Amino acid sequence: MLSSIMKSLFLKSLRSQQIATFIIIPAVFVTVISLALYEGNKKSVTLVVNGETEEIKTHASTVGKLLSESELVFSEHDRVSPSIESPIENGSLIKWEQAKKVAIQVDNKEDIYIWTTEKTVGNVLEEADIELSEFDKVSPSLDAQLNESSSISVEKAYDFTLIDGKDKKKYWSTSTTVADFLKSEDIQLNEFDRLEGNNKDDIIRPGSTVEIVRVEKVTDVVEESADFAVETRNDQSMLKGREKVVQEGEKGKIAREFEVVMENGKEVSRKMTSEKTLKEPVKKVVAVGTKVIVASAAPTVKSSNSKTKSSTSSSVGVSRSKSAAPSSSKEFYVSATAYTAYCNGCSGITATGINLKNNPNLKVIAVDPSVIPLGSKVWVEGYGHAIAGDTGGAIKGKKIDLHFPTKESAYKFGRKQVKIKIID
């Protein structure tokens, strides 16, 4: 009985399983077919996100819906190609570049922010309409790739003038010190060179001038003549006022060494460091006459007809007479004036030592020694024989001054053109 019941239950269970199987299989088949049809209707699309490529299948009808399905957050600054409104077709290529926020600072001023999809510094600055010259300084470099936290620094170059010795040139530079600029241009300062008006740590300002004074010290050896000394020796055998060269002088030669400071090629100082005698000078010896001839007035002698005759008592003083001119001598015309021993400022003693106040009747004339040597015996037209025994500050060239015993006689003579003859 139990066996029959168990058999009946088994057959009933088997019958139920068969029924369930017949129900499930069609349902699964329908599901598989539906899925196959659903997947088959998807479009094959190539999606490039920030340079990375991915092949995907999608039922999205537009680019925007595809990006939304891909959970990509899109902003107005991003670059999508084709546009988000564009329909998607099988085999479409969609590019999405996400924009980055970049800070740009120009000349240390407040930052400028820009959203960009550009990859390099140069392209970002171009997109921001920041014009650059070849001398501007950009960090990072123009060809550097941007990253998520990139910032760009721009230093605009300005012009200034460099005077290097004699050379003058205009340069462009960003904010820099004098020392850094010289280093960048490989400009060397030598031992004695200096900066005029600047220090090495000074910042170069727009429109300023940096001046380098090129200094060099050189040694200069100069050979020069050395003047000879003049020795005077008194000679009692020569009349006072006369001179005679006993020994001619000869210049010597010396070598002087100088330290010369040159600035920009121009000498600014010279200092003698040593001196060497190459040839000793030979002194000049001059004999100077010291002989003084003392003259006295000429004595008078009475003749038989009671007329007074005068004669000289010395070779210097000549008594006042108008003797005839000598037959042979050197003669020429001169301008003659007159003076006395009592004129203003006169001492009464002549250049050759004759005391005219004690000998008022002596015939003495003042001359220019370069024309008529002192001590010469002369004959003067209208005056007679005399001696060239005096000089005068105004007696130059062919001028003479005649001595008279009184002011009245001197005034009476005045100024005349007369003939003079040099006798001895």
Please tell me the predicted confidence (pLDDT) of residue 189.
92
Give dist(CA 101, CA 124) in Å, integer.
Answer: 11
Give dist(CA 162, CA 266) in Å, integer.
Answer: 19
pLDDT category at 323 given cuts 50, 70, 90 is very low
Using CB atoms within 10 A of its CB, is residue 351 exposed (0-12), middle (13-18) or buried (19+)? middle
Q: In what order do the strands lie in the sheet with 266-279?
A: 215-226, 252-263, 266-279
> What is the token pair recorded at 242?
């006369």
Q: What is the CA radius of gyration of the chain?
A: 64
**In the predicted model, is pLDDT for residue 157 greater than 80?**
yes
Please tell me the predicted confidence (pLDDT) of residue 311.
34
- pLDDT tens-digit map of 60-74: 878 777 777 766 666
* Mean pLDDT value across residues 48-59: 79
**In the predicted model, is pLDDT for residue 327 greater than 60?**
no
**In the predicted model, is pLDDT for residue 217 greater than 60?**
yes
* Alpha helix (H) residue ranges in 165-233: 178-184
pLDDT category at 329 given cuts 50, 70, 90 is low
Give dist(CA 123, CA 112) in Å, integer.
Answer: 15
DSSP string, 275-334: EEEEE--B-EEEEEEEE-----PPPEEE-TT--EEE--SSSS---S--PPPPSSSEEEEE
* Mean pLDDT value across residues 318-347: 73
DSSP string, 13-30: HHHHHHHHHHHHHHHHHH
Structural element, H or E, at residue 33: helix 2-40
Domains of the chain: 43-97 (3.10.20.30), 100-155 (3.10.20), 158-213 (3.10.20.90), 220-291 (2.20.230.10), 300-422 (2.40.40.10)
pLDDT category at 333 given cuts 50, 70, 90 is very high
Q: Does residue 88 or residue 170 have the better pLDDT?
A: 170
Look at residue 136 and give its three-state secondary structure: coil
CA distances from 388 to 63, 130, 318, 321, 362 (A): 135, 102, 11, 16, 11
Please tell me the predicted confidence (pLDDT) of residue 59.
73
Least confident of 9-13, 57-61, 201-205, 345-349: 9-13
**In the predicted model, is pLDDT for residue 389 greater than 80?**
yes
* Alpha helix (H) residue ranges in 326-406: none
